[in-house]
Amino acid sequence: MRILEARVEDRSYCADFGRVEAVVVLFVKDRVGQPPHEIRMSTSQPLHGILPLEDRLIADAIRLAQSINCRSSAQTDENMPLAA
């Protein structure tokens, strides 16, 4: 999975937990020859941190998307019949 672009949308601060919740929009290309498509990931990060908040939100969304992509690829491979 190749990330072409990422942007943070719909941020909200949750004062009870001191975290910012956001939707991160990722434009990705899964395979060569396929058109890019949009993935929306919900994520949250502490308000304060070493890196800028937007960078942390995007990095977390990318990590989650890659994790989901790896799992779905593994499940698809398991369901494929073996070649004779």
In a domain, 83, yes or no: no
Domain count, the chain: 1
What is the DSSP annotation of the chain? -EEEEEEEEEEEEETTTTEEEEEEEEEEE-STTSPPEEEEEEEEEESS-SS-HHHHHHHHHHHHHHHHHHHHHHHHHHHSPPP-
pLDDT tens, per residue, the chain with 84 residues: 888 999 999 899 988 899 999 999 999 988 888 888 899 999 999 999 999 999 999 999 999 988 887 655 544 444 444 444
| C-alpha span between 26 and 29 (Å, rounded) | 10
Residue numbers of the domain that contains 69? 2-77
In a domain, 33, yes or no: yes
In a domain, 82, yes or no: no
The Cβ of residue 19 has, within 10 Å, a number of other Cβ atoms equal to: 15
